[in-house]
Structure 1
């Protein structure tokens, strides 16, 4: 990919987003990056030149997102790669998480990304090219994580609308890739990025055990190297035929196949019931 191409990245002040911005700038790309706090973003990136445009954006406000897209066009003349990276984890059982806590997670993880897509698509359609990369999670492919039901639901939603978006955008020369990472050693499991319920129900022993494990054992010991994940993102953006689904990490690969095999087994075990629910041929003829 031409290093004059322009990347637009949300959630860029930490984690994978920050690593991505830094690698792109090192390679000479033009980068517009967003965060809720522009000072934190600029300080974290540590670079101020014509290749880097830091933007303060409230992803939940459509006008704020649209202003950021327009500022990027004004600065660089176009947008080539959009990365919806902003989001946060939420750990709590379905019962104990409040309506407000659940909706807030959807507002950022799902509707924030949709605001970006809606604002970017007119420009990508006009130039008949582009690549939208939506950062999901292995939790967007399998929900077998006690305590992560709402978070998984947000990422399942991202994967669902991304598959439809890919079908819609193909006619305009626009690619879509869903990235589903496993556990990568970022601050995703730190208190600043992982929400917990305001009221906890002790009866959910599996959820409390999961919470304890993620906050004290898994955090800081994740097997995935974020710098390698970022290099993979840059590589797929240069591919002529990039994947719709990209899983990152051996753990994500293994968990994906565990679900695929489980679904295949259930399909076959219950095939007779599944295929018995249509109208009989005689009824159709009659």
Structure 2
């Protein structure tokens, strides 16, 4: 395990981000971590070793803040080897009942922040001729659940961004993985991590049933964030990490089933699909 690597982790004050930062520091890595409040982050991590831990206050939708956090990281550690774009939150509710400004906000945090951090760290990694970018997506970005359309759209965007980014930066020795978990016990369904709009419209029964089931299962999710953090560290040591990594039995089942359905649907409609081309 190469503990000389420097990690830059966003959204690190709670959930998977906090678990990962603690695990990295326990294993001797150097870590720069961002949060909206660096003091709260420092208290949550509990480590006072300024030689290995750099807590940073950063508004990830402000390019100047991102640039400053990267500058401070380079000044402190001299390099950035692994980036984990973890900042984000959930949103549940019907599309017609969620306010437009709330939809814009979740895209700002879940998608644009990931893109902004990546585009500003890429010059550092290109000069190094190496680097590893881990974007935290969700199985919902591939197989969404009723009532999670806005959130699923953001995570689908993160997955598509990661796929093309990997093609763009391969020649520089930079690798990319989008991690797509199912339910983890990270407080994701709590007030600080979920914007929830209860439906008051008659109908939408699938949405209401799904939300009730999800909220009732809060704190009982099967995913272990500690194990997930260990897997992210393991990925960073791999010479050929996967482009997509689903985490959790539920993620595996949902993704596998959708692939089967999609394959069958593509074949069922093959003749109509190819009929649109000019005859050659």
TM-score tier (shorter): over 0.9
Are 1:85 and 1:135, in contact at CA under 8 Å, matched by a contact in 2? yes
- What are the within-5 Å matches in structure 2 for residues 147-186 of structure 1? 147-186=147-186
Specify the alignment match of 2:18 in structure 1. 18
Shift of 1:66: 1.1
1:284 is matched with which residue?
none
For structure 1, the residue ranges without an aligned partner over 5 or more in a row are 282-286
**1:8 correspondence with 2:3:** no
Once the two structures are TM-superposed, the CA of residue 172 in structure 1 deviates from its matched residue by 0.3
CA contact (8 A) 2:137 2:181 kept: yes
Q: Aligned partners of 1:115, 1:251: CA distance in 2, in Å?
A: 31
Aligned length: 279
Partner residue in 2 for 1:95 = 96
Question: Residue in 2 aligned with 1:280?
Answer: 279
Q: Does the CA contact (< 8 Å) of 1:101 and 1:197 recur in 2?
A: no
Q: Secondary structure at the match of 1:134?
A: strand
**Within 2, Cα distance between the matches of 1:104 and 1:193?**
13
Look up the match of 1:33.
33
TM-score, normalised with respect to structure 1: 0.95
Aligned equivalent of 2:195: 195
Counterpart check, 1:57 vs 2:58: yes
- Aligned counterparts of 1:198 and 1:68: Cα–Cα separation in 2: 37
* Whole-angstrom distance in 2 between the partners of 1:200 and 1:237: 45
Give 5+ residue unaligned stretches, structure 2.
none
CA contact (8 A) 2:199 2:208 kept: no
Corresponding residue number in structure 1 for 2:241: 242
Matches of 2:121 and 2:199, distance apart in 1: 38
Query: For residues 51 and 265 of structure 1, what CA distance do their matches in structure 2 show?
Result: 51
Q: Secondary structure at the match of 1:229?
A: helix
What is the CA RMSD across the aligned residues, in angstroms?
1.2
1:207-255 Cα distance to aligned partner (Å, 9 max, x none) = 222222222x221110111111111000000001111111111110110
Q: CA deviation at 1:196?
A: 1.6
Counterpart contact for 2:19–2:225, Cα < 8 Å = yes
Secondary structure at the counterpart of residue 133 of structure 1: strand
